[in-house]
């Protein structure tokens, strides 16, 4: 879709496809002129983000909705599809046209539309507290795809509540297919899940783990075996297995690695 002009001394790709890229940006959230107060929000803000990027395996990028591009991309080869961070910044949203399956590309455009509509429906003072999460496939240079998860939350709003900059955390998805769109609010047990077939948000309550399930998960995270855990908390190994199976069924996973990933990603522990 995008004409390659790499090596010609100019931008990596020409921008005849801005109309396509603009589908990722809502008219409701178009940011035009910025006040001095709004600009002051961003003083030196990238430094802590860069510091965080140095100590996490996850990829981080910052979206600028005024310029319709990426302001920052962390150096994580797993999610860059063979590009350098500077090349991904240069590509901007053209990166998705190059490295996302066509059906998932349509999904991403849908997610942007329904996400902005959701944010329009909540009070301005609560918008920074909400995070949207979704999964899609990235296609690497060897043509193999990986399912990744995006968690995106506002960094800075304009005075009238539009999202000016947002931060996105990219990790490997724990799911098996694209979609899985949900929005959650910091400090709340409510989760909003989007049903694509019905085209509507469904309100659900976050899964709660028992104290025993949390205790067992945390001990597994320390590298302890079933027998080690049983000895440490004065239960039999069969009882630990019983609690583990109930936990797997509750959160819909198959093994302890998936359980730890789910519990961590969904802030259950």
What is the C-alpha radius of gyration for the chain, rounded to an integer number of angstroms? 21
Domain that holds residue 235: 211-265
Report the number of distinct structural domains present in the chain: 2
> What is the pTM (predicted TM-score) of this model?
0.75
Long-range contacts of 45-54 (CB under 8 A, 24+ apart): 45/155, 45/156, 46/71, 46/72, 49/167, 50/74
Rounded to whole angstroms, the maximal C-alpha distance in the chain is 69
List the CATH number of the domain containing 168.
3.30.450.20
Q: What is the pLDDT of residues 197-243, one digit of tens each?
A: 999 999 998 888 899 999 999 999 898 999 999 999 999 999 999 99
Note whether 109 and 242 are same-domain residues.
no
Q: What is the pLDDT of residues 41-84, one digit of tens each?
A: 777 788 888 888 888 888 999 999 998 899 999 998 888 999 99
For the chain, where are the alpha helices, taking DSSP H only?
A: 18-21, 36-40, 46-53, 85-91, 94-99, 102-120, 211-221, 226-232, 237-251, 256-265
* Rounded Cα distance, 107 and 224, in Å: 40
109 C-beta neighbours (distance < 10 Å), count: 13
Note whether 259 and 186 are same-domain residues.
no
List the CATH number of the domain containing 260.
1.10.10.10
Note whether 118 and 218 are same-domain residues.
no
* Assigned domain for 22 exists: yes
Q: What is the pLDDT of residues 215-228, one digit of tens each?
A: 999 999 898 999 99
Note whether 153 and 33 are same-domain residues.
yes
């Amino acid at each position: 879709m995008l004409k390659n002009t790499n090596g010609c001394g100019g931008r990596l790709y020409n921008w005849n496809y801005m109309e396509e890229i603009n589908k990722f940006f809502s008219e409701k959230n178009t940011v035009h002129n910025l006040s001095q107060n709004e600009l002051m929000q961003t003083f030196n803000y990238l430094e802590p983000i860069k510091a965080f990027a140095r100590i996490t395996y996850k990829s981080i990028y910052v979206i600028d909705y005024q310029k319709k591009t990426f302001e920052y991309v962390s150096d994580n080869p797993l999610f860059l599809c063979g590009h350098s961070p500077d090349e991904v910044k240069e590509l901007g949203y053209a990166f998705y046209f190059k490295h996302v399956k066509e059906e998932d590309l349509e999904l991403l455009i849908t997610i942007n539309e329904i996400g902005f509509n959701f944010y329009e429906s909540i009070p301005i003072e609560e918008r920074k507290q909400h995070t949207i999460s979704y999964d899609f496939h990235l296609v690497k240079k060897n043509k193999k795809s990986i399912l990744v998860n995006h968690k995106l939350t506002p960094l800075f709003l304009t005075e009238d509540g539009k999202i000016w900059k947002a931060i996105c955390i990219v990790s490997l998805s724990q799911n098996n297919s694209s979609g899985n769109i949900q929005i959650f609010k910091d400090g709340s047990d409510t989760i909003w899940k989007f049903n694509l077939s019905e085209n509507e948000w469904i309100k659900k309550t976050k899964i709660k783990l028992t104290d025993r399930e949390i205790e067992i998960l945390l001990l597994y995270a320390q590298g302890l075996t079933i027998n080690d855990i049983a000895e440490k908390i004065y239960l039999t190994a069969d009882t630990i297995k019983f609690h583990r199976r109930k936990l797997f069924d509750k959160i819909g996973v198959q093994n302890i690695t998936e359980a730890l990933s789910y519990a961590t990603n969904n802030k259950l522990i």
